Amino acid sequence: MTKDKLRKQFLLKRKKLNNLHLQEKSRAISQQFFKFFDLSEIKKLHIFLPILRQNEINTWFIIDEIRQNHSHIIPIISKSMFETYSMESYVLDSNTKIVENDWGIPEPINAIKCPDDTIDIILIPLLCFDKQGFRVGYGKGFYDRFLLNCRKNIIKIGLSLFESVDKIDDVNEYDIRMDFCVMSDRVLLFNN
């Protein structure tokens, strides 16, 4: 299936999730993440903040766990630059004020900027993904462009509410494969 068809299908599927089920899955994804990955050497972890009206995974479970039990990790969040379809990275600390932009995306407004090439791990949002580790997002290419500015060895981890599809038919040379995908019951590794 093509990205457009998959995007429509999984947007609808995600929209149908009730809040209780979404929170349970989000919590389970967070638990799988911390159970699977050794974070002892990680200094900076890029994480997306959930767009509530899109029923995205609640990543605050991960952020709260980092703050409570992995204080050596600095959470990094982004601000979307829609004019250039790019993102800028900022430190998320106790002083960071978050506001929703016009598209409902939570973003920092008073945060310290972070160079993209200093990030160790990135947690990537997605609507769906395939067995090869490619993902379908909202279709603007923000994360594929962003990853070009990051270190080549950055660990790319998708977070998914749903099982993989067999294949995304229209993957192209600009699509960047994930290294892992965390689901509520397991973590998948993609051989890159």
Which pLDDT tens digit goes with each residue over 127-156?
A: 999 999 999 998 888 998 999 999 999 999
Where b means 16+ CB within 10 Å and e means fewer, 28-49 reads: bbbebbeeebebeebebbbbbb
Q: What is the pLDDT of residue 192?
A: 61
Confirm whether residue 158 is marked as ligand binding.
no
Q: Is 123 annotated as a binding residue?
A: no
Q: Check the annotation: does 142 bind a ligand.
A: yes
Distance CA 45, CA 5 (A): 31
Residue 6 among known ligand-binding residues: yes
- Flag whether 136 is marked binding: yes
Cβ contacts of 60 within 8 Å, gap of 6 or more:
49, 50
Please check whether residue 159 is in contact with residue 121, taking contact to mean a CB–CB distance below 8 angstroms: no
Annotated binding residue at 167?
no
143 is in an annotated binding site: yes
Q: What's the CA gap between 136 and 132, in Å, rounded?
A: 12
Whether 130 has a binding-site annotation, put simply, is no
Task: Please compute Rg for the chain using Cα positions.
Answer: 16
pLDDT at res. 73? 99
E-only strand ranges, 34-120: 44-46, 74-81, 86-91, 98-100, 106-108
Is 14 known as a binding-site position?
no
Euclidean distance between the first and the last CA atom of the chain, given in angstroms as a whole number: 22
Domain ranges of the chain: 3-134+148-189
pLDDT of residue 141: 81
The per-residue pLDDT for 19 is: 96
Taking the C-alpha atoms of residue 34 and residue 53, their distance in angstroms, rounded to an integer, is 26
Ranges of the chain with pLDDT below 50: none
- Please indicate if the annotation marks 133 as binding a ligand: no
Which tokens go with 39? 């974070």
> What's the CATH code, domain 3-134+148-189?
3.40.50.10420
Q: Is residue 5 marked as binding? A: yes
